[in-house]
């Protein structure tokens, strides 16, 4: 998402400045052009040569001297940038940004920046961070359109515990993707995604589940959030972390997923059901562990049907809502998926065969066919992230962006 983008990083004095080397490397690997401005105090924590090397651009330092690429880097760089992230941001640089003080290269660049998304990631001791003057300054910046990246909570270099840790490079990378990585063509839309596997309890120790890892659903939720939607992810058991920028509702069983979805389904513009929901659950859940000595060599668990959540949403679909389901099959892919499209009253089924190379549980790729009431479209093997965007593209084409 950041390929070809120009990212400006402003680094001020904090022990966490070392994390910016990893971020610069991630950005470079993603194909972004990275420029760095460092304050004098930042240079006491990490040598600018680290960033010269990682970004292949000379790091702009605080002395307005001839070593900088341009004598007016503080004007040129913000003009070129697709996003400007000040991180780690000390209490000092936050105050300068809030008050308009421009007495060094970084604070001057901050004043000169007006056309690109501006992000600031505070990093300092918990007592400094909680000081009302710092909070007021951050509020001022937020009110002026800056995105304030909330610091992490935990152990601090000074020995205190609390809020003020700079998020890791991966998290800052995602904030930059959010700031400038995608067109916000789902802005104002509410999207609900189901993901992962449900677990149906047999007794307090055992359950029935399936191989779903939640990768496909997570990719869809993330893509929708990056494109500006307000996303609710109803997540069963997943092998991958829930993405940033989405409201994740954790559930265990099909019953819990049904309740979580139906509580909010009528407020959604788009519902995409990627979860692998159990069709059956044990009719009775034993309250104590089932012991072998009580069952003999063979035993039977009586199963009963769960709610079909997609079918329920199809029956209760409000006007204008787009409902998309998945179908994972081992035989007769198009026929089975077509039946699901009709029976469950969905607007689209994303069908994939467990037999296709590059599709299935836990893979990073998928091979899917879109089934709509007016036709089918076969896609080549794509990453799950690309499949997620293609699903959203179709929905936007159908429903528009308003």
Binding positions for ligand CTP, rule: CB under 6 A: 194, 254, 273, 275, 277, 279, 306, 308-310, 325-328, 340
Q: What is the Cα–Cα distance from 122 to 299, expressed in whole angstroms?
A: 59
Catalytic residue of the set 158, 180, 313, 324? 158
Neighbour-count burial of 378, counting CB atoms closer than 10 A to its CB (0-12 exposed, 13-18 middle, 19+ buried): exposed
Query: Could you tell me if 106 and 86 are in contact, meaning their C-beta atoms sit under 8 angstroms apart?
Result: yes
Find the shortest distance in angstroms from Cβ 341 to ligand CTP: 10
Q: Is the peptide bond before 88 cis (omega within 30 degrees of 0)?
A: yes
CB closer to ligand CTP, 68 vs 265: 265
The answer to whether residue 180 is catalytic is: no
* Block residue for tokens 């918990």: 126
CA distance 336 to 349: 10
CB of 36 to ligand CTP, least distance (A): 45
Q: Which is nearer to ligand CTP, 11 or 275 (CB)?
A: 275
Dihedral of CA atoms 225, 170, 108, 127 in degrees, nearest 10, equals: 100
Contact 196, 237 (CB under 8 A): yes
Sign of CA dihedral 193, 197, 203, 205: negative
Complex with ligand CTP: residue 54 or 309, whichever CB lies closer: 309
User: CB of residue 203 vs ligand CTP: minimum separation in angstroms?
Assistant: 22
Could you tell me the smallest distance in angstroms from the CB atom of residue 359 to ligand CTP?
Answer: 13
CB of 206 to ligand CTP, least distance (A): 20
Task: Name which of 19 and 340 has its Cβ closer to ligand CTP.
Answer: 340
Task: Return the H-helix or E-strand segment holding 232.
Answer: strand 230-235
Nearer CB in complex with ligand CTP: 5/340: 340
């Amino acid at each position: 998402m950041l390929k070809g983008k120009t990212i400006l990083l402003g680094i001020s004095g904090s022990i966490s400045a070392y994390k910016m080397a990893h971020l610069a490397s991630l950005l470079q690997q993603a194909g972004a052009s990275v420029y760095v401005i460092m304050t004098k105090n930042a240079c006491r924590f990490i040598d600018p040569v680290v960033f010269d090397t990682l970004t292949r651009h000379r790091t702009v330092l605080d002395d307005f001297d001839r070593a900088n690429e341009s004598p007016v880097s503080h004007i040129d760089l913000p003009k070129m940038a697709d996003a400007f992230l000040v991180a780690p941001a000390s209490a000092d640089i936050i105050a300068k940004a809030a008050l308009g003080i421009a007495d060094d290269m970084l604070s001057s660049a901050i004043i000169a920046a007006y056309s690109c998304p501006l992000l600031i990631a505070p990093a300092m001791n918990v007592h400094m961070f909680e000081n009302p003057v710092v909070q007021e300054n951050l509020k001022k910046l937020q009110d002026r359109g800056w995105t304030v990246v909330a610091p992490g909570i935990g152990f601090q270099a000074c020995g205190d515990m609390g809020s003020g840790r700079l998020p890791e490079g991966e998290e800052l990378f995602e904030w930059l993707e959010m700031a400038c990585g995608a067109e916000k063509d789902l802005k104002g839309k509410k999207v609900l995604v189901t993901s992962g596997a449900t677990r149906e309890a047999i007794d307090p120790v055992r359950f029935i589940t399936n191989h779903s890892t939640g990768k496909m659903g997570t990719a869809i939720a993330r893509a929708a959030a990056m494109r500006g939607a307000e996303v609710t992810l109803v997540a069963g058991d997943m092998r991958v972390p829930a993405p940033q920028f989405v409201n994740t509702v954790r559930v265990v069983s099909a019953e819990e997923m049904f309740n979580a979805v139906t509580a909010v389904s009528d407020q959604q513009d788009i519902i995409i059901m990627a979860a692998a929901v159990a069709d059956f659950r044990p009719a009775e859940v034993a309250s104590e562990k089932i012991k072998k000595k009580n069952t003999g060599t063979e035993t039977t668990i009586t199963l009963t049907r769960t709610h079909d959540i997609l079918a329920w949403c199809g029956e209760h679909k409000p006007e204008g809502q787009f409902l998309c389901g998945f179908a994972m099959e081992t035989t007769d892919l198009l026929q089975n998926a077509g039946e699901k499209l009709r029976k469950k009253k969905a607007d689209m089924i994303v069908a994939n065969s467990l037999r296709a190379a590059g599709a299935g549980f836990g893979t990073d790729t998928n091979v899917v066919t879109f089934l709509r009431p007016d036709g089918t479209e076969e896609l080549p093997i794509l990453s799950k992230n690309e499949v997620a965007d293609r699903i959203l593209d179709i929905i936007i084409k159908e429903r528009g962006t308003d």
